[in-house]
C-alpha cells in the first residue's frame, strides 16, 4: 500500500518509521498511532525532567542556600547582593526556557511551574504519563486539581489518584472524568481546603464579550455551577418551543434562545415554512404588557448528599448532578 495523497508531498522526517508499510492496514496503523502516543508521552516526561534539572541548577539550589543562610552571619549588603543574584538567576532561567521551548515568558513560567509540580508533588502520576498509562492532559489535570493541598497532602493525593488511574486507564480517559475522580480524592483528604478553593473560585466569577470574525462575537462566563445549570436548563427549555420542522440546529436554537431570554421572551419563534404552525409567534414572559419583565423561574437541580453531611456531622463531599463532586458546605447551601 502507498501513503494517502495528502501525505505524499510532506517531508519524510514528519512520518513515523513504518507508516508507509502500515498505510492501508487499519490495525497496523492503529498500533502505530499508539506507539506514537507512547513516544510523545516519553518525550514530554524527558522535557519535564530536563526543565526540572535546569530549574535546580540555575535557580533552586541557590535559593535553598540563601534561605539556609543565618541572618546573623551576613551583612545587609551581602543579603541584598544574594537577592539580586537570585532575581538575575530567575530572569535567566525564564529566558533559557522560553528560548529552548519556543515560548513566551508567561508560557515558559507555566512550563517551569508544571515541571516542578509533577516531579516534586505528583511523581507517581508523572510516572504513569511516561509509561503511557495516562495521557499528558490527564496528568496535567491531576496536578491542577491538587493545587489546594499542602506538600504532604499532595503526596497522599499522588498515591491515591495514581492507584485510581492505573486500576483501569480506559475508564478515566476523558478529562472531566479525571477531574471528578481527583476532586473526590482532594475533598476526602482535606474538605476544608476544597471549600476554601470553592469560595475563592466564586470570587472570580465574570462574563466577557469579545468581538470575533465575520460579524460575530463570543461570550464567556465563569459562574457558580448551580447558576450555570439554571441558565442551561432555561436555554434548553426555550430552544424546544419550536416545531420539528424548524430548520435550525440545536446549537443554533440554543444560541438564539439565550438572546430571547435576555429580551424577555418565553418562546423562541419557529422559523419553519408551515403556514399552520402554532409556534411562529415569539411570546414575551409578560405577554400583552408594555414591558416584558422576566419573572422568577425555578430550576430543579439534583444534589446527592449524605444525611450525616447535611446535618453537619461530617464533611463528606456531595454531588451536583450535571456538574460533578462539590464540597459538603456547597451541597448544604444548595
Under DSSP, is residue 209 helix (H, G, I), strand (E, B) or coil? Answer: strand
Judge contact between 38 and 132, C-beta under 8 A.
yes
Q: What is the pLDDT of residues 179-192, one digit of tens each?
A: 889 988 988 898 88
Decide if pLDDT at 32 tops 90. no
Distance CA 141, CA 71 (A): 40
Decide if pLDDT at 158 tops 70. yes
**Segment of 46-55, 187-196, 214-223, 259-268 carrying the highest mean pLDDT:** 46-55
Q: How confident is the model at residue 162 (pLDDT cuts 50, 70, 90)?
A: very high
Decide if pLDDT at 129 tops 90. yes
pLDDT score, position 294: 46
Q: Could you tell me the residue ranges of all domains in the chain? A: 26-202, 223-299, 303-333
pLDDT score, position 309: 92
Q: What is the pLDDT of residues 241-278, one digit of tens each?
A: 999 999 999 999 999 999 999 988 889 999 999 988 99
Decide if pLDDT at 151 tops 50. yes
Q: How confident is the model at residue 134 (pLDDT cuts 50, 70, 90)?
A: very high
pLDDT score, position 288: 47
Its pTM stands at 0.66
Decide if pLDDT at 110 tops 80. yes
Using CB atoms within 10 Å of the CB of residue 128, give its burial: 0 to 12 exposed, 13 to 18 middle, 19+ buried: buried
Under DSSP, is residue 320 helix (H, G, I), strand (E, B) or coil? Answer: strand
pLDDT score, position 193: 76
Decide if pLDDT at 3 tops 80. no
- Residue by residue, what is the 3-state secondary structure of 137-193? HHHHHHHHHCCCCCHHHHHHHHHHHHHHHHHCCCCCCCHHHHHHHHHHHHHHHCHHH
Among 83-97, 152-166, 168-182, which is the least confidently predicted range?
168-182
Amino acid at each position: 500500500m502507498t501513503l494517502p495523497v495528502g501525505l505524499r508531498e510532506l517531508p519524510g522526517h514528519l512520518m513515523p518509521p513504518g507508516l508507509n508499510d502500515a498505510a492501508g492496514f487499519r490495525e497496523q496503523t492503529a498500533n502505530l498511532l499508539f506507539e506514537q502516543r507512547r513516544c510523545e508521552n516519553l518525550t514530554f516526561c524527558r522535557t519535564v525532567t530536563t526543565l526540572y534539572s535546569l530549574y535546580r541548577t540555575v535557580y533552586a539550589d541557590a535559593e535553598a542556600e540563601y534561605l539556609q543562610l543565618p541572618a546573623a552571619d551576613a551583612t545587609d549588603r551581602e543579603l541584598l547582593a544574594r537577592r539580586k543574584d537570585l532575581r538575575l538567576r530567575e530572569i535567566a532561567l525564564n529566558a533559557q526556557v522560553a528560548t529552548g521551548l519556543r515560548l513566551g515568558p508567561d508560557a515558559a513560567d507555566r512550563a517551569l511551574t508544571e515541571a516542578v509540580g509533577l516531579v516534586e508533588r505528583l511523581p507517581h502520576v508523572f510516572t504513569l504519563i511516561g509509561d503511557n498509562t495516562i495521557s499528558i492532559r490527564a496528568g496535567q489535570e491531576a496536578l491542577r486539581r491538587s493545587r489546594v493541598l499542602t506538600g504532604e497532602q499532595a503526596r497522599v493525593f499522588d498515591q491515591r489518584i495514581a492507584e485510581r488511574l492505573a486500576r483501569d486507564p480506559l475508564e478515566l480517559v476523558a478529562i472531566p472524568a479525571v477531574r471528578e475522580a481527583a476532586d473526590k480524592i482532594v475533598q476526602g483528604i482535606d474538605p476544608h481546603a476544597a471549600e476554601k478553593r470553592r469560595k475563592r473560585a466564586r470570587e472570580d466569577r465574570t462574563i466577557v464579550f469579545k468581538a470575533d470574525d465575520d460579524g460575530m462575537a463570543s461570550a464567556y462566563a465563569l459562574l457558580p455551577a448551580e447558576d450555570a445549570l439554571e441558565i442551561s436548563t432555561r436555554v434548553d427549555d426555550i430552544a424546544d418551543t419550536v416545531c420539528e420542522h424548524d430548520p435550525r440546529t440545536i446549537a443554533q436554537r440554543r444560541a438564539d434562545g439565550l438572546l430571547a431570554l435576555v429580551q424577555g421572551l418565553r418562546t423562541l419563534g419557529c422559523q419553519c415554512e408551515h403556514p399552520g404552525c402554532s409556534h411562529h409567534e415569539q411570546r414575551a414572559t409578560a405577554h400583552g404588557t408594555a414591558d416584558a419583565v422576566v419573572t422568577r423561574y425555578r430550576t430543579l437541580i439534583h444534589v446527592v448528599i449524605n444525611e450525616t453531611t447535611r446535618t453537619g456531622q461530617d464533611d463528606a463531599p456531595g454531588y451536583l448532578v450535571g456538574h460533578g463532586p462539590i464540597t459538603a458546605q456547597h451541597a448544604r447551601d444548595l
